[in-house]
Structure 1
């Protein structure tokens, strides 16, 4: 096991140890938010036949003549087509969405037709295919639709249904166990004694995991004792991911690493040259990824966005693992410790058509978490960035 490791090496080791979960077939109507495990193709033409796009009359364009009367032979409605080919010198009444009868090649809107009982007169010089959507005009059977790894958002779900899918194959949703470590922790809402606190970060991470697609997230509070930690660990096959918060330092009560090692967890590293999040560790317990994050809110949040989030996305079969980013100017100069990958939390704002990043200074960690919407990642070799420097900002929330 490596004691301390560079940030990029840590990311490579973590993501190289994680693989997409198995897949399952689900009804497409309940697949919203899931991730396609295989490519999806078009199963039916869209539209499935030639369709009228206006209420009017279907006829042959070459028979259009204002001096000539056409016999109305019947009607076609959406879902109830006219049952036979169109006869010569005839028309069929159609509504929007109705199948255009065989033999007809144009639709004349109601407002352009003069009706005389069961006969009509139409203007001359009609264009072929007017107000008609051809079969397969939008989608054709066999056409590739979406690749594996696509997140099924509402528009994509709509298109899958329209393309004929009743079921889709999706990646199974992971189950996570979040262990908050510390004698001082109390369940939310319980009275606090002096020195006690609530594990707010644990619940924030659990909520973020659910939002990203976790099927099940359980939070456990564990005392700073090996036996208590071991008791909180899930049984084999009961979780796809284990996250611990706190107890990763070098203090007398920091026993998380040793407890997990005694259970059989093999650690790849137990520290990263990163600030915040110095005491972050990663290993595998019977092939289940175990990510051990520091308990402080800033370090835990950094660990979530830099490691836990991409781990979950890869398990779900997603292809893009990085946070979205945007170019911005630095509102003030910043200093960074040499040799450390430094994540500076801040707020992105738009002023006079330019984006500016304002580093936040800790006056209250929880308030800072609430106000921030991005990170400036400063590489290990950089010690100073001046005000006005153009930088890349990783977005953790919508900036506006």
Structure 2
């Protein structure tokens, strides 16, 4: 068995980002930039007023001074003249500051009387003026390559005058559940059978990770049925299987896919839950084989599939983020496998995270995972710990799950 860290490293080293494509700005949210977004203009393009008021020379902005209003400059209609001594031009937020002016008299600090305006409060040179290029200049890389675009980024790209963006294509992930006992939700359940949750949970996780999920029909415990998936995953960026990768007589995934040309990189991880995890290559398609137990499948997906999706999407890849917490209950000593305890979190008044593992950690108890806030990380051979001891956790809300 290999470690979690080695397994993740070997998976990621075999993956490459998906090709780039050009998409309309309106469809670029949550996509990953394949190249920097470079500003096509300067913002603001000229010195503009940050407030409603009057443009004037700072030297004329003394209390009780009376200035002649020689024009107005609504946003989008710059004043063509020059502001001279004793003169002012009416401005509005976003108005271009006219030549000759170097200060703005706020509307609330002025009294207008026909073509004159009186200064009620002294003005300061340069105040309330947004300088040309204050936000960015033409040629600036305003968004780097390898960034998942937020709504804020979309606004910035629009301001930089980009109607189209170059982004990575979303990874296409085929999901295959295996087993004679499996029925999809709403289907008749065979004797001794179960309703499959893995395909739906993994499809949701793939979408949360920025990918496109293609759920394949359930493959029965038959070499031909499992092997036939090789013809269905052409053009996929990854095949994810669940079940059939353990050591029982009906765990046929490895042999069936090897018969269709899959090369096996590794099988079995020193972790709990999720020991029977495999990774290989079926032609050009990477294969990640997850356990059949629903909790094991999802924990492995958090540790391995989410980073894989990040790599395929063009993101910089790191393990799931870890937070510090203290235990709300005792935990027993660990064996040679890394453990990932499902747990709840309480945030105390001082901000301290108190994490309490569920007393039963069965890998088939999906409800416990749904109620969990975190996974408590227990290294191999970790000693027993009392309540109050410090531990590391993966917060599930930080992953958008």
Task: Show the counterpart of 1:368.
Answer: 368
Q: Could you tell me whether the CA contact under 8 Å between 1:241 and 1:290 is conserved in 2?
A: yes
Change (3 A) 1:208 1:335: same
Task: Show the counterpart of 1:149.
Answer: 146
Change (3 A) 1:17 1:300: same
RMSD: 2.2
Q: Distance in 2 between matches of 1:114 and 1:383?
A: 76
Q: Distance in 1 between matches of 2:230 and 2:241?
A: 10
Pairing 1:166–2:166 present: no
Change (3 A) 1:20 1:337: same
Secondary structure (helix, strand or coil) at the match of 2:247 reads coil
Pairing 1:385–2:385 present: yes
Change (3 A) 1:309 1:234: farther
Report the Cα offset of residue 223 of structure 1. 0.7
Q: Distance in 2 between matches of 1:47 and 1:138?
A: 7
Secondary structure (helix, strand or coil) at the match of 1:203 reads helix
Summarize deviations over 1:87-107 as a string: whole Å, max 9, x none.
543221111111111111112
Q: Distance in 2 between matches of 1:78 and 1:386?
A: 66
Q: Could you tell me whether the CA contact under 8 Å between 2:325 and 2:355 is conserved in 1?
A: yes
Change (3 A) 1:388 1:64: closer
Report the Cα offset of residue 268 of structure 1. 0.7
Q: Distance in 2 between matches of 1:247 and 1:101?
A: 74
Secondary structure (helix, strand or coil) at the match of 1:178 reads strand
Q: Distance in 2 between matches of 1:20 and 1:139?
A: 29
Secondary structure (helix, strand or coil) at the match of 2:217 reads strand
Pairing 1:342–2:339 present: yes
Summarize deviations over 1:103-122 as a string: whole Å, max 9, x none.
11112122322323222232
Q: Distance in 2 between matches of 1:347 and 1:72?
A: 67
Q: Distance in 2 between matches of 1:6 and 1:116?
A: 80
Report the Cα offset of residue 174 of structure 1. 0.7
Summarize deviations over 1:12-65 as a string: whole Å, max 9, x none.
211111121111222233211011222334332222211112222112222345
Q: Could you tell me whether the CA contact under 8 Å between 1:177 and 1:234 is conserved in 2?
A: no
Q: Distance in 2 between matches of 1:280 and 1:86?
A: 75
Report the Cα offset of residue 359 of structure 1. 1.0
With normalisation by structure 2, the TM-score equals 0.92
Report the Cα offset of residue 290 of structure 1. 0.2
After superposing the two structures, state which structure 1 stretch, 138-147 or 45-54, moved more. Answer: 138-147
Task: Show the counterpart of 1:315.
Answer: 312
Task: Show the counterpart of 1:357.
Answer: 355
Change (3 A) 1:260 1:82: same
Summarize deviations over 1:326-352 as a string: whole Å, max 9, x none.
111122222354221222221122235
Task: Show the counterpart of 2:42.
Answer: 45
Task: Show the counterpart of 1:300.
Answer: 297
Q: Distance in 1 between matches of 2:293 and 2:206?
A: 18
With normalisation by structure 1, the TM-score equals 0.92
1:56-95 to structure 2, matched below 5 A, reads 56-64=53-61, 69-95=66-92
Secondary structure (helix, strand or coil) at the match of 1:312 reads helix
Secondary structure (helix, strand or coil) at the match of 1:289 reads strand
Task: Show the counterpart of 2:321.
Answer: 324
Secondary structure (helix, strand or coil) at the match of 2:380 reads coil
Match of 2:116 among 111, 114, 119: 119
Task: Show the counterpart of 1:137.
Answer: 134
Q: Could you tell me whether the CA contact under 8 Å between 2:341 and 2:361 is conserved in 1?
A: no
Q: Distance in 1 between matches of 2:31 and 2:247?
A: 40
Report the Cα offset of residue 211 of structure 1. 1.6
The number of residue pairs the alignment matches comes to 396
Q: Distance in 2 between matches of 1:388 and 1:65?
A: 65
Summarize deviations over 1:198-221 as a string: whole Å, max 9, x none.
211210110110121113432421
Summarize deviations over 1:235-276 as a string: whole Å, max 9, x none.
464311100001111111111111110111101112112111
Q: Distance in 1 between matches of 2:282 and 2:125?
A: 68
Q: Distance in 1 between matches of 2:374 and 2:26?
A: 35
Secondary structure (helix, strand or coil) at the match of 1:222 reads coil
Summarize deviations over 1:155-197 as a string: whole Å, max 9, x none.
2222222233332221211111100101111122123243222
Change (3 A) 1:352 1:112: closer
Summarize deviations over 1:375-397 as a string: whole Å, max 9, x none.
12222232433332211111122
